[in-house]
Amino acid sequence: MKPMRACGFKRVLFRVAASVTLLAGSAVALRAQRAITLQLVSTNGASIQLLWQAQSVVPAPGLPIFPDYQIHRSADLKTWAPVGERFVGGIGGTNNMFSFLDATAGEPMTFYRVETSVQLANADLIGEKLAGGDFSSGDLFGADLFGADLTNIIYNQATR
């Protein structure tokens, strides 16, 4: 398959995981947990706009918890650098749309990845419905989970 320039995309929808890399018109999932739908739009031939809708890490009817998002860019798939500001998540709210415009996307080949993390250190989650939540890329250190419904949550060593 011949590589395509990133700025040549018109409108592409991708189903991606918590950390993803966009490669020559396809999405490569690096983690298989939380999924988002990412749109890649060429705005004027020199810029790329990334669009996605935030989704709660806890399925309904549980407490809506939205992760932080950070865009990373690479020219070689080895060296990654964060670009732009971190999109901050939080507890409560709705599925907001996020947009990031990369004006330096006119390079011959540009790769992106979107990383998510749930930062709830010392959060008061007493008695909350968290069943089925994906906390695999998060920090719950010191969170008060007394009486919380933790049925079938996904977590890693850092969240224990």
| CATH code for the structural domain at 6-117 | 2.60.40
Long-range CB contacts (within 8 A, 24+) of 135-140 = 135/57, 135/159, 136/18, 136/31, 136/33, 136/34, 137/18, 137/19, 137/31, 137/33, 137/34, 137/67, 138/57, 138/67
Is pTM, for the whole model, over 0.75?
A: no
Q: How far is CA 68 from the centre of its chain?
A: 7
How many Å apart are CA 150 and CA 157, to the nearest integer? 15
pLDDT at 35: 66
pLDDT at 61: 93
Do 50 and 111 contact (CB within 8 A), yes or no? no
- Domain map (residue ranges) of the chain: 6-117
At residue 55, what is the residue type?
Q
Instruction: List the pLDDT tens digit at each of the 160 positions of the chain.
Output: 333 334 333 333 333 333 444 443 334 333 334 667 778 887 776 788 888 888 899 999 999 999 999 999 888 899 999 998 999 889 988 878 888 888 875 567 788 888 889 999 999 999 999 999 999 888 899 999 999 999 999 987 543 4
CA distances for 30 relative to 19, 104, 117, 129, 158, angstroms: 6, 24, 14, 28, 19
pLDDT at 105: 55
Question: Which segments within the chain are labelled E, that is strand?
Answer: 11-16, 20-23, 26-29, 36-42, 48-53, 65-66, 68-74, 81-87, 90-91, 97-102, 111-119, 138-139
How many Å apart are CA 67 and CA 115, to the nearest integer? 9
Phi-psi region of 45 (alpha: psi -120 to 50; beta: other; left: phi over 0): left
Do 37 and 13 contact (CB within 8 A), yes or no? yes
